[in-house]
Chains A and B, each alone.
Chain A
């Protein structure tokens, strides 16, 4: 599957099907992550039930603490 993540085309392996798996794929599952899917913000509780499809536009921002 191909997605547009933060403005760039990214090819993803078969085992990435929903938003939770996408977050895991990028190693951000221990972080607080905000996801926008096709310009709609996605609640955290919907991450695992939201299925991704080819060509979806995803914006992904994770929180960090350092300063």
Chain B
């Protein structure tokens, strides 16, 4: 097994010393979609010590075109992404400790997840969670790497607390409607290029080669043959509520977190119960047996179809209401079938 990392050790900036450091490091990836699976596969192959991964969704057919840890079997079985990812990652490299969570991430979950973490990788699809990651990164002084893509376009930035501006500095304020969901589709090379930027920056952080960090906001459009980067050092703001002198970490305030969310480009609303509950899926299956058109259960979730709508109920109490973008309609369905 000594051969395993030989090519990486021959790469001078990592070397045998860097590899030994990698083996002791812990990475948190938030999201197990396209960016999450790409980052996870590369880092697990590279031989980090531990990977923690968290995701709230399950595998669907439309994921298979670009989410490289999943196969048809996972889509047929509607496996939670975190569960399917763990299975594949452990098959790739048993050296790495892989810990997964099927959960929606809020401030409280993040606080628990970041314990002992050396770098956080953003593989999410919305700015609500990114602003929380940004605050938690500042609070616990853990670097994080923003990444996002749509169409053939991608963007990435590495945030080092106390050193670089944070995401809040860059965005100033998140304008209403200014960062709406992108529905333009996506090609996998755009994903893989963002992944390449994120993984490379993560490796630099993990082997402690901070000098080599890019320090620039980078973007590209593979279809339009464009690539650019901007030095954003100067936008660091002393008055920033996330990283400035009077910081309050506004996005870690529970009052600012929503109980319902429309999932990006998915015609789906997620509803979180106000208090944590654990659903007995078997019992629920029994209750819903006569009420719908189709009912399917696996150890992690229950899928209930009625007309044009499908409710997916997770063990942690969350429900995805498919077939609507209307929060009120989703809530009505939730209360009709789940009390």
Contacts and interface: CB of A to CB of B under 8 A. Distances in A.
Contact of B219 (A7, A30, A41, A61): A61
A32 B235 contact: no
A65 interface: yes
A13 interface: no
Contacts of A63: 148, 155, 170-171, 179
Contact of A64 (B149, B174, B230, B265): B149
B170 A34 contact: yes
B230 A41 contact: yes
Nearest to A60: B228
Interface residues of B, number: 46
Interface string B154-188: 11000000000000001110110111111000100
Given A65-B125, A67-B125, A30 B229 contact: no
B153 A34 contact: no
B62 to A, nearest CB: 13
A59 B186 CA distance: 23
Contacts of B34: 67
A39 B126 CA distance: 30
Contact of A65 (B33, B177, B179, B231): B179
A60 B227 CA distance: 10
A6 B155 CA distance: 14
Contacts of A43: 235
Contact of A7 (B123, B171, B226): B226
Interface in A18-67: 30-32, 34, 36, 39, 41, 43-44, 59-67
Most chain B CB within a 10 A radius of its CB, from A39, A44, A65: A65
A14 interface: no
A41 B235 CA distance: 8
A7 B229 CA distance: 10
B149 A34 contact: no
Contact of A6 (B31, B186, B194, B226): B226
A32 B157 CA distance: 14
A8 B228 CA distance: 11
A44 to B, nearest CB: 6
Contacts of A8: 226
B35 interface: yes
Sort A-B residue pairs by CB-CB distance and give the 10 closest, nearest first: A6-B228, A61-B219, A67-B35, A66-B150, A36-B230, A66-B182, A64-B150, A67-B125, A64-B148, A59-B228
16 contacts: A30-B177, A31-B178, A34-B170, A41-B231, A62-B219, A63-B170, A64-B155, A65-B182, A65-B264, A66-B125, A66-B150, A67-B33, A67-B34, A67-B36, A67-B122, A67-B148
Given A67-B147, A67-B148, 6 more contacts: A7-B227, A32-B172, A32-B175, A65-B182, A67-B33, A67-B149
Interface of B: 31, 33-36, 122-127, 130, 147-150, 153-155, 170-172, 174-175, 177-182, 186, 194, 217-219, 226-232, 234-235, 264-265
Interface of A: 6-8, 30-32, 34, 36, 39, 41, 43-44, 59-67
